[in-house]
Structure 1
Amino acid sequence: MPITPQDREILRLAVPAFGALVAEPLFLLSDYAIVGHGLGTTAVGALGVAGTVLTTLVNLCVFLAYGTTASVARQTGAGHHERAMRHGVDGIWLALGIGAALIAVMWPLAPPVVDLFGAAPDQAEQAVTYLRISLLGTPGMLVVLAGTGVLRGLQDTVTPLVVAVGSFALNAVLNAWFVLGLDWGIAGSAWGTVLAQTLGATVYVAVVVKGARRLRVPLRPDPAGVRQAGTAGFALLVRTVCLRVVLVVAMVIATRMGQAELAAYAIATQVWTMLAFALDAIAIAGQAITGRALGAGDVEATRRATRRMVTWGVWSGAVLGLLVLAARPLLPGLFDADPQVTEQLLAVLWPVALFQPICGVVFVLDGVLIGAGDQRYLAWAGVWTTLAYLPAAALASGMDIVALWCALGVWMVARLVTLARRAAGSAWLVVGA
């Protein structure tokens, strides 16, 4: 398809966002590769359980990025740059507070939470070790979310790319050193990720502080602003809880199928997550462009951008699906998978690939509606699509991980229907700051 000026605007935001988003799942993918080579299948399964818990905790707070992107972009479109930066500062303080609270709450709960997955005793012990150490990095992880949201709202996706690539490289080096060099076991993998994420958060804080000082925005926490940021993100929290319920239920079912099935499902999940983040790059552009356009009162530009980004989503999903199929024979070797895990992984990569075009449209429309501030609808849609998924998951629980992945496909189709129906209407096109 020919490249238009609108495409260039989308690509200006989406291409750097693609690099930054892909770097995020590469944190865990590099952990899986290093742990798989150095510690074996049991440790990979433990990492799958602990990684699911940790990812759930962080993703529940994704409103720190998405809500901040939407609010900052809308204020930027309306020309209120000081207000935009004030939203950013409040988001950073909220992230620090939530991170500290997660450490205090989850540290004593780590063993019973891991036990919910029904992992074998040796896997459970390693999972608790990884989870507890990783909790120390949650304030940094959440500050990264909030800082990324500020910069995206300001139409800057290049700086998050630089920080994400640097953090990933540092994480890979530290993990290899701690696990393979110093023989720290799974704890070494956790410490490497904590240090890399914390240093990345430090960079974001420095960037936001510099911008706030330039605009003479106070750096001290504003209780009203922090509270508003938290309450505004509640609907996005509900949406995210629904997403995580689906993925956690799937992980629990995979855990009870056996160690080989769990290891294969954990690896496939990381591949799917990396693809999801890649497709979400267009959604990030959608958040920033939609918020800015509606803040400036331009409904027609919002419509045109939405249609174009949906087209990009379909084609990107198709390309990624073909890439998965091409790389399918090579992926088990990257994780040093044993024959049983390899057999399971090769089977489940088929549905992972085939659902990518649907994922492309779903992620784009999700980003557009988040950018428009249509969080209440997204929360209710999340509830209904989760209810559509649960019977399919229950049916798959008595079968295999391919059936389990097809149940996830039912969920994605339900999301497609609810999001497309909303985008076709006009209730979400609210203009102004």
Structure 2
Amino acid sequence: MVDGLVLIQSKLKRDANRRIWRVAGPAMLANISGALVSIVDIWAIGHLGSEAPLAGLAVGAFFMINLYVLFSFLYMSTVGFVAQSFGLGLRRKIIEVTMRAAVMAAGLGLLFVLLSPVIREVTVRVWNPSPEAAEAASTYLRIRMLSAPAIFVSMTAKGFLIGTQRARISLCLDLFLNALNTLLTVTFVMGLGWGVAGAATGNLIAEWGAAVAAVVWLGYLIRPARVMATVRRVGFWRVGLFREQASVNTFLFMRTLFVQTVFAMMSVSGARLGDEVLAANHVLLQLVFVATLAIVGMSSATQTLVGEAKGAGNRALFHFWSARTALWSFVVAMAMTLAYGIGGGAIIAAFTNVEGVRAAADQQLHLVALWPVLAVWSYQLDGIFIGATSAKPMVWGAGAGASVFVVAQWLLVPPLGNEGLWIAFILFFIVRGLVLAACYARLANKIALVARA
């Protein structure tokens, strides 16, 4: 029996790099393709010849992007729970945790739709744009918010696909969403002249279309009869089981809230340093965003493979996948660092031709180039803890990092200006990584040692 386990484990290790990239490659492409949704909207509305629609779109799109990010816990927790069940080979449990996640996602989506008039009003008031831009933002959000149930259910579907290591299907769903959104947005905005309402309607139809496609695909993979048998089972509706998944979701939400708060504070603090710095930091944060897409794509492989090992109770494989994915995460991060170090100036020049903004961005380019190799560890360890569905340490790490960021910018910005702000930003990620690294051994010790390498 032990010899058999060792043989299986050895084969897994031989195929390790292929298994990692079978998930990470499509996940990276899916992340990059997801960024195209807002780019298409900006392109279409940006050609209407008026500032107000574009300003209104900026408010609405910013809100929807943050909605995606804040509720990404639905995806992350589903990956962890499904990957662990996948590691155990328990098909019924995979279906159960996926369906519970889908029920919670649909419920949250419907609640969001019911509250959308209030949320829309508050959002527009907080931003307080011009009356014309406010009307455009309200129109965009009124239509786009109706897609919340579709967005949330799609997140759980993608969590199932990544958790069962079917990343290519997840990529296909994202490509379908983006192709449909591009076609509809261009048709509605440029062809029919619907303006901001056309962009929102294109997104709405595309997101519901992608959700339907995801449900149909899951139905094919799981089989409707199994789904119905699962939800009819009395044990499926046990409050304790829903509470277990909801607890992880809550901690993941808190972690994400800390992260998003730091990003928001970067913009606010940059604005206090002047328009040139604000604009320069916006350009530099796009470089951070692109690097994040690549690093998080690798983190998807970490989540599912570490979760599989944890579910199987195999501490040796848990350590192996943690280390091997960490190696590849570092390679990806180093590639981004080299790309920004060598070509960062050209990238900044492509973003803007305003000399003052380019000069301000160039001054901090060395810190942005270092960001991937310094921040990658926080994302890598996030992936490990997501796969293990151990979310509480992630809150500790994000909370500690946010606290250090606040103190560091208070101390460093007065003497160093924007450079101090970027140092504080980098410290946030370093502290996150250090806190999670300190918790790693305790997490690993909870896993039974089933086989030795």
State the shift of 1:431 in Å. Answer: 3.2
- Conservation of the 8 A alpha-carbon contact between 1:329 and 1:346: no
1:204-244 deviation per Cα after TM superposition (whole angstroms, max 9, x unaligned): 11122233326723264854355543233121121112112
Residue 337 (structure 2) pairs with residue 321 (structure 1):
yes
- Specify whether residues 383 and 320 from structure 1 end up closer, same or farther in structure 2 by C-alpha distance, changes over 3 A only: same
Amino acid at match of 1:376: K
- Specify whether residues 133 and 402 from structure 1 end up closer, same or farther in structure 2 by C-alpha distance, changes over 3 A only: farther
Amino acid at match of 1:30: V
**Aligned residue for 2:21?**
11
**Aligned residue for 1:299?**
315
Amino acid at match of 2:183: V
SS in 1 for 2:144: helix
1:318-349 deviation per Cα after TM superposition (whole angstroms, max 9, x unaligned): 21233345265356656x87677666666666
SS in 2 for 1:374: coil
TM-score, normalised with respect to structure 2: 0.82
Residue 377 (structure 2) pairs with residue 361 (structure 1):
yes
Aligned pairs for 1:84-123 within 5 A:
84-117=94-127, 119=129, 123=133
- Specify whether residues 260 and 35 from structure 1 end up closer, same or farther in structure 2 by C-alpha distance, changes over 3 A only: farther
- Specify whether residues 96 and 401 from structure 1 end up closer, same or farther in structure 2 by C-alpha distance, changes over 3 A only: farther
> How far apart are the structure 1 equivalents of 2:411 and 2:222?
53
- Conservation of the 8 A alpha-carbon contact between 1:294 and 1:430: no
**Aligned residue for 2:171?**
161
**Aligned residue for 2:438?**
421
**Aligned residue for 1:208?**
218
**Aligned residue for 1:277?**
293
SS in 1 for 2:407: helix
> How far apart are the structure 2 equivalents of 1:107 and 1:324?
42
Moved more, 152-161 or 251-260: 251-260
Residue 60 (structure 2) pairs with residue 50 (structure 1):
yes
Amino acid at match of 2:175: V
Residue 413 (structure 2) pairs with residue 391 (structure 1):
no
Give the one of 308, 318, 322 matched to 2:324: 308
Moved more, 390-399 or 225-234: 390-399
State the shift of 1:402 in Å. Answer: 6.2
Moved more, 63-72 or 321-330: 321-330
**Aligned residue for 2:386?**
370
Aligned pairs for 1:8-47 within 5 A:
8-38=18-48, 46-47=56-57
Give the structure with higher Rg (CA).
2
Q: For this pair of structures, how many residues does the alignment match? A: 428
Give the one of 181, 185, 196 matched to 1:186: 196
State the shift of 1:158 in Å. Answer: 1.0
Moved more, 128-137 or 380-389: 128-137
- Specify whether residues 11 and 289 from structure 1 end up closer, same or farther in structure 2 by C-alpha distance, changes over 3 A only: same
Residue 149 (structure 2) pairs with residue 150 (structure 1):
no
- Conservation of the 8 A alpha-carbon contact between 2:404 and 2:424: no
Moved more, 203-212 or 362-371: 203-212
> Is the helix fraction higher in 1 or 2?
2
- Conservation of the 8 A alpha-carbon contact between 1:45 and 1:263: no
State the shift of 1:40 in Å. Answer: 6.6
Moved more, 151-160 or 397-406: 397-406
Amino acid at match of 2:263: L
Moved more, 280-289 or 186-195: 186-195
**Aligned residue for 2:74?**
64
Amino acid at match of 1:172: T
Quote the sequence identity (%). 25
- Conservation of the 8 A alpha-carbon contact between 1:321 and 1:354: yes
> How far apart are the structure 1 equivalents of 2:417 and 2:148?
34
SS in 2 for 1:313: helix
> How far apart are the structure 1 equivalents of 2:60 and 2:411?
26
- Specify whether residues 193 and 110 from structure 1 end up closer, same or farther in structure 2 by C-alpha distance, changes over 3 A only: same
- Conservation of the 8 A alpha-carbon contact between 1:20 and 1:165: yes
> How far apart are the structure 2 equivalents of 1:157 and 1:313?
17
State the shift of 1:84 in Å. Answer: 0.7
**Aligned residue for 1:74?**
84
1:98-118 deviation per Cα after TM superposition (whole angstroms, max 9, x unaligned): 111112223223233244346
**Aligned residue for 2:209?**
199
Amino acid at match of 1:430: K
State the shift of 1:261 in Å. Answer: 6.1
- Specify whether residues 229 and 269 from structure 1 end up closer, same or farther in structure 2 by C-alpha distance, changes over 3 A only: same
- Conservation of the 8 A alpha-carbon contact between 1:70 and 1:287: yes
Amino acid at match of 2:29: G
- Conservation of the 8 A alpha-carbon contact between 2:283 and 2:348: no
> How far apart are the structure 1 equivalents of 2:178 and 2:207?
9
**Aligned residue for 1:176?**
186
Amino acid at match of 2:324: R
Could you say which structure has the greater relative contact order, defined with CA pairs below 8 angstroms and 6 or more residues apart? 1
SS in 2 for 1:359: helix
Q: Which runs of 5+ in 2 are unaligned?
A: 1-12, 449-453
Amino acid at match of 1:382: A
Amino acid at match of 1:416: G
> How far apart are the structure 2 equivalents of 1:407 and 1:83?
43
Q: Which runs of 5+ in 1 are unaligned?
A: none
- Conservation of the 8 A alpha-carbon contact between 2:295 and 2:333: yes
**Aligned residue for 1:409?**
426
Residue 263 (structure 2) pairs with residue 247 (structure 1):
yes
SS in 2 for 1:431: coil
- Specify whether residues 44 and 70 from structure 1 end up closer, same or farther in structure 2 by C-alpha distance, changes over 3 A only: same
State the shift of 1:271 in Å. Answer: 4.4
- Specify whether residues 96 and 17 from structure 1 end up closer, same or farther in structure 2 by C-alpha distance, changes over 3 A only: same
- Specify whether residues 323 and 215 from structure 1 end up closer, same or farther in structure 2 by C-alpha distance, changes over 3 A only: farther
> How far apart are the structure 1 equivalents of 2:138 and 2:153?
24
SS in 1 for 2:335: helix
Amino acid at match of 2:185: N
State the shift of 1:29 in Å. Answer: 3.2
Moved more, 17-26 or 244-253: 244-253
